Amino acid sequence: MGLLSTVKHEAKEVGLVTLYFFFCFGIILTLKKLMLATYAIEFYALSGAVIGALIVGKVVVVLDKTRAGKRFDASHSIGVAALYKTTVYSAITFLVLLAEKLFHAYRESGMLGEAFLEVWTQRDRNGIFAKVLCIGLAFMGYHLYKGLDRRLGEGTLKRLVFNRQ
């Protein structure tokens, strides 16, 4: 496989997933921007949506190829498989977001225990849960779509949604 064909394959496989998550994160961050505007707080959403979509898009494609990502695809209904994947991916998201907040708090305090207490009690615990919930809903939509598409035959669902009769 040549370099050009590898790049085309990666762009096709990861690009559409990244575009989906960019759309979802764009909506989430736009809502956040609109809510903060009520209090005259400036918030720039585009860079967060782009970076988040690039990271999550690639991670989801990689996780879908692992055993954990395929565990229930053949033996359970689409809904159960999507719920399992959403739960696993959301738990990983929670751990990553918590680790990010811990890292910043640890850099300020220098003690891990104090940093954890600060993150859990003083900082944005509810913000972490809100982000995990929103990202989890995006995961659920993605996994339901992929499950239906796989069950109907690759590309069939996309043709049904986007093509005229």
Q: Where are the beta strands (DSSP E) in 24-64?
A: none
Residues 6+ apart with CB under 8 A from 155: 149
| 63-101 pLDDT tens trace | 888 887 777 777 889 999 999 999 999 999 999 988 888
**137/92 Cα distance (integer angstroms):** 14
**pTM attached to this predicted model:** 0.85
Q: What are the domain boundaries of the chain? A: 1-65, 68-165
**CA-CA-CA-CA dihedral for 159, 86, 135, 61, to nearest 10:** -60
**CA-CA-CA-CA dihedral for 27, 29, 48, 142, to nearest 10:** -40
| 102-157 pLDDT tens trace | 898 888 888 888 888 888 887 677 888 888 999 999 999 999 999 998 888 888 88
Cα-Cα end-to-end distance for the chain = 37
**9/122 Cα distance (integer angstroms):** 45
